[in-house]
C-alpha cells in the first residue's frame, strides 16, 4: 500500500512539473514572442488543471508556479530597499547639436574606435529585477535612484516577465532592468470603461503604470494588463564584452527585449534611427518619448565612467510632443449620464500623430476661459495619451479682428434646463436627471453594464427602443417588463425576448455593492460603492445616513456625501428602490470592514492635485485614506495639506497659498508616513 501511495505521489509531482513547464512555455510564446500556440480557452483549462492538482498536493507546488502570478491578501505597506547598483537617470536633450557635442566628448576621451546602440525610450516606469539561480526573487522600483520599494508581488502578475528563466548560461545572481508600461489599446479600453461608468479617465499611460505598481493589492494589479521590456543587465562577474551581446543572451533566457533597436553603429546611424522613429512612433502599440543611445562596449563604458547623476556613456534624445494647428469651427457640449456637461472643440480635420483629428477636449468652463477662445480662432492641438486630443493654445497671430470670445453655455443643450455649478467643482451639471434624454439613456446603459447589473442581452439600441415605445423611463421599469409588451416591438423574436427576460431575472442575484454602483449616484464609482456597502449593509441604512456619518468614513469626501444624501432624498429614487426591492434585487449584504494600515494621518484633510512621478493620483488618495487621512476634492479652510505634483491646478495653488496651507511634494508627503 505504501509503495502504491509513493508511486501515486511521484506521478502527481511529475504531472505538476510538466504542467508548470508547459504553461510557462505558453506564457512565453504569448506574452514575449506574441506567437500563441494554443487558444485562451485551452490555456485556461491547463491552468485550472494545475490549480486543482496544487490544491490537492500543495507540497509539490513550485514557488514560481504560473498559478502564483496573482498574490494573496493585500499588503499593508511597501518595504524600501537600497539598490545594489544605483539607478541613475540619463542626461537628455531635444537638440541634435547636443548629440554631436556628446559624440565629440566620447571621441576625445576614448581616442579609439567605438560604437553606439540605439534603443527606443519607453514612456513607462523603470523597474529592477533580481534573479537568483534562474528564479525571480525581487523587484524594486527606481524610487530616488538610491532606494526603491519592493513590488515583487505586483511584478509577478506581469506575464511577459519570466518567473523562472529558460536555457542556460545565466549568472547565479544578477539584476536586469526594464520599463513597465501599458499598450495604448489596453489603456484606451480601460479609460472607455471608466468614462462609461461615470469615472474620471486616467491621465496618461505612464502615470497609470506608475500608479498600478504602487497598488497594495496584487490581485488588482493583475487586472490591468501591464507589460515590460527589459534593456540593461548588472552583474558582478563579466560575461559579455558588449551591451548588444548581453541583450541577445537575455532574450535567449526568456526576457522580452524590444526588437526595435540598432546594431552597433556610429552617430550617423543613431541620427537615422532617431529620424525614422520620430515619424514611425505612431505605428507602435505603446508610447515612446524619445531614443536612447549608449556606448556598446562595456570596457569603454568603464573608462568613460559617471557623473554624480548620469552615466557619461549614454544620453537620451527626447521628441517634442506632436502638435498641429487648425481652425476651431465651434464648441459643442456633451451631457453625460451624471448630468456633467463637457465642452468639446470641433475642429477643421487635421492629421496629428497618425490619425485625423476632428475634436479635442476642453474639459470645463475654466479651460475655455484660460485659453481665451474666440470664434474663428486657429488653435494648437496636441496628443499626449488622452483618448481625445487637447487644445493647448491659440495662435494669436491669426485671430480675426473683432471676433467674439466664447462663453460657457447657461442651459443644457439637450433639455434647456439651467445648468448648475457647485462650489469647489469645475464641472457644470444639468440638474434635470429624470427628464434629460442623454442622462436618462446614460443611466440605463450604466445600469445594465457588465460591471454593474450585467444584463448582457440589453444594449444601447434596445434601451432606446424601450424608451421610445414608452415601456421604461428608468432602470427600475426594466423589472416590470412582460413578454407580451416586448412582442410588438421590431426585431423582437421569441428567443430575443426570452434572453432579455432571463437576463433581467439573473441580475437579481448581483451582489449589493454592485447594485449600489449600478444606481448611478454621482461620484459613486466601483470603489466608493464597495466602501459604502461595507459601512452600511443595506440601502435603507445608507438612506438613513447623515452627511456627518458619511464624511466620517475616510474614503468619503464632502462632495460624495452630499450626492449620496441628495440622491436618497429624491422621491423618484425612493420609488425606484421600492420597485427593485419588490422585484428581489439585492439591496442589502454583509461585508467585512477593512482596517487601516495606520492612523498616522488621522484627523488630517488632504487635497491631491497634479501629476506625480511615483503614484497614480487615485493610488495616492487611497494611500492617504489607508493611513487614516481624509481626501477632499477642493481646497478650503479645513484643508491641512495639499499634495502637489507637476501641473498642479493654478486655482488650487493660489487658494492654498492664500489660506497658508502646507504644500507637500512627494518626498515630504512620504515623510509623514510611518
The helix/strand/coil state of 449 is coil
Note if 383 is an active site residue: no
CA distance between the termini of the chain: 57
Rounded Cα distance between 291 and 120, Å, is 5
Strands laid side by side in the 116-122 sheet:
92-93, 314-318, 288-295, 116-122
Helices (H), 63-196: 96-110, 152-156, 184-196
Three-class DSSP category at 545? coil
CA 521 centroid distance within chain: 23
Instruction: Describe the strand order of the beta sheet including 630-632 as a list of residue ranges.
Output: 630-632, 605-609, 641-644, 662-664
153: left (phi over 0), alpha (psi -120 to 50) or beta: alpha
Write the Ramachandran bin of 523: left for phi over 0, alpha for psi from -120 to 50, otherwise beta: left
Asked whether the beta carbons of 439 and 338 are under 8 A apart, the reply is yes
Using CA atoms, how far apart are residues 456 and 475, in angstroms rounded to an integer?
A: 14
Which of 77, 84, 108, 121 is flagged as catalytic? 121
- CA angle (348 as vertex; 346, 349 as ends), nearest 5: 105
Residue for grid cell 491641512: 640
| 435 SS3 class | coil
Rounded to the nearest 10°, the torsion over CA 261, 265, 270, 276 is -60
Dump strand ranges (E) for 263-367. 288-295, 314-318, 323-335, 340-352, 355-361
> CA 281 to CA 466: how far, in whole Å?
45
**Residue (of 504, 494, 511) closest to 457 by Cα position:** 504
Helices H, strands E: what count in the chain?
24, 20
- Active site members: 121
Amino acid at each position: 500500500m505504501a509503495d502504491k501511495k509513493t508511486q501515486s505521489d511521484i506521478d502527481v509531482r511529475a504531472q505538476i512539473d510538466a504542467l508548470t513547464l508547459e504553461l510557462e512555455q505558453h506564457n512565453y510564446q504569448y506574452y514575449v514572442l506574441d506567437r500563441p500556440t494554443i487558444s485562451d480557452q485551452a490555456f485556461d483549462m491547463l491552468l485550472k488543471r494545475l490549480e486543482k492538482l496544487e490544491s490537492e498536493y500543495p507540497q509539490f507546488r513550485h514557488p514560481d508556479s504560473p498559478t502564483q502570478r496573482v498574490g494573496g491578501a493585500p499588503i499593508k505597506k511597501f518595504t524600501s530597499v537600497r539598490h545594489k547598483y544605483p539607478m541613475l537617470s540619463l542626461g537628455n536633450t531635444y537638440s541634435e547639436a547636443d548629440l554631436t557635442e556628446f559624440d565629440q566628448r566620447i571621441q576625445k576621451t576614448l581616442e579609439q574606435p567605438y560604437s553606439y546602440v540605439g534603443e527606443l525610450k519607453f514612456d513607462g516606469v523603470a523597474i529592477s529585477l533580481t534573479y537568483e539561480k534562474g528564479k525571480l526573487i525581487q523587484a524594486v522600483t527606481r524610487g530616488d535612484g538610491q532606494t526603491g520599494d519592493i513590488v515583487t508581488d505586483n511584478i509577478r502578475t506581469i506575464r511577459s516577465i519570466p518567473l523562472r528563466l529558460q536555457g542556460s548560461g545565466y549568472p547565479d545572481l544578477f539584476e536586469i532592468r526594464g520599463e513597465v508600461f501599458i499598450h495604448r489599446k489596453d489603456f484606451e479600453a480601460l479609460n472607455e470603461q471608466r468614462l462609461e461608468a461615470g469615472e474620471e479617465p486616467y491621465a496618461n499611460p505612464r502615470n497609470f503604470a506608475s500608479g498600478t505598481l504602487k497598488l497594495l493589492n496584487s490581485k488588482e494589479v493583475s487586472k490591468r494588463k501591464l507589460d515590460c521590456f527589459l534593456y540593461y543587465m548588472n552583474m558582478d562577474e563579466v560575461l559579455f564584452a558588449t551591451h548588444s551581446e548581453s541583450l541577445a543572451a537575455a532574450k535567449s533566457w526568456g526576457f522580452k527585449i524590444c526588437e526595435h533597436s540598432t546594431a552597433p553603429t556610429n552617430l550617423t546611424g543613431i541620427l537615422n534611427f532617431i529620424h525614422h522613429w520620430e515619424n514611425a512612433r505612431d505605428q507602435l502599440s505603446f508610447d515612446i518619448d524619445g531614443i536612447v543611445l549608449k556606448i556598446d562596449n562595456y570596457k569603454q563604458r568603464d573608462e568613460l565612467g559617471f557623473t554624480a547623476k548620469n552615466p557619461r556613456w549614454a544620453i537620451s534624445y527626447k521628441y517634442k510632443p506632436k502638435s498641429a494647428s487648425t481652425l476651431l469651427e465651434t464648441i459643442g457640449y456633451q451631457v453625460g449620464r451624471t448630468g456633467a456637461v463637457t465642452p468639446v472643440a470641433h475642429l477643421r480635420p487635421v492629421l496629428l500623430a497618425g490619425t485625423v483629428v476632428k475634436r479635442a477636449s476642453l474639459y470645463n468652463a475654466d479651460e475655455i476661459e484660460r485659453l481665451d477662445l474666440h470664434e474663428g480662432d486657429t488653435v494648437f492641438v496636441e496628443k499626449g495619451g488622452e483618448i481625445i486630443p487637447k487644445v493647448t493654445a491659440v495662435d494669436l497671430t491669426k485671430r480675426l479682428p473683432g471676433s467674439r470670445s466664447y462663453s460657457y453655455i447657461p442651459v443644457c443643450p439637450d433639455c434647456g434646463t439651467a445648468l448648475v455649478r457647485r462650489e469647489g467643482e469645475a464641472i457644470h451639471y444639468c440638474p434635470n436627471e429624470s427628464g434629460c434624454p442623454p442622462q436618462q439613456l446614460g443611466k440605463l446603459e450604466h445600469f445594465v453594464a457588465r460591471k454593474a447589473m450585467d444584463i448582457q442581452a440589453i444594449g444601447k439600441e434596445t434601451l432606446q427602443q424601450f424608451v421610445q415605445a414608452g415601456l421604461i423611463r428608468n432602470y427600475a421599469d426594466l423589472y416590470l417588463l412582460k413578454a407580451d409588451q416586448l412582442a410588438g416591438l421590431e426585431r423582437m423574436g421569441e428567443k430575443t425576448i426570452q434572453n432579455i427576460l432571463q437576463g433581467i431575472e439573473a441580475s437579481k442575484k448581483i451582489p449589493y455593492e454592485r447594485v449600489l454602483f449600478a444606481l448611478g449616484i454621482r461620484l459613486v464609482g466601483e470603489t466608493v460603492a464597495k466602501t459604502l456597502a461595507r459601512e452600511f449593509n443595506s440601502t435603507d441604512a445608507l438612506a438613513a445616513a447623515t452627511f456627518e456619518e458619511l464624511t466620517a468614513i475616510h474614503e468619503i469626501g464632502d462632495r460624495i456625501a452630499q450626492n449620496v444624501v441628495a440622491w436618497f432624498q429624491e422621491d423618484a429614487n425612493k420609488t425606484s428602490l421600492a420597485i427593485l426591492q419588490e422585484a428581489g434585487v439585492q439591496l442589502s449584504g454583509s461585508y467585512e470592514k477593512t482596517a487601516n494600515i495606520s492612523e498616522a494621518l488621522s484627523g488630517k484633510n488632504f487635497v491631491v492635485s497634479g501629476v506625480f512621478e511615483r503614484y497614480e493620483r487615485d493610488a495616492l488618495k487611497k494611500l492617504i485614506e489607508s493611513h487614516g487621512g481624509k481626501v477632499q476634492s477642493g481646497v478650503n479652510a479645513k484643508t491641512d495639506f495639499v499634495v502637489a505634483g507637476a501641473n498642479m491646478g493654478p486655482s488650487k495653488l493660489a487658494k492654498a497659498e492664500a489660506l497658508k496651507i502646507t504644500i507637500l511634494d512627494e518626498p515630504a508627503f512620504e515623510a509623514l508616513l510611518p
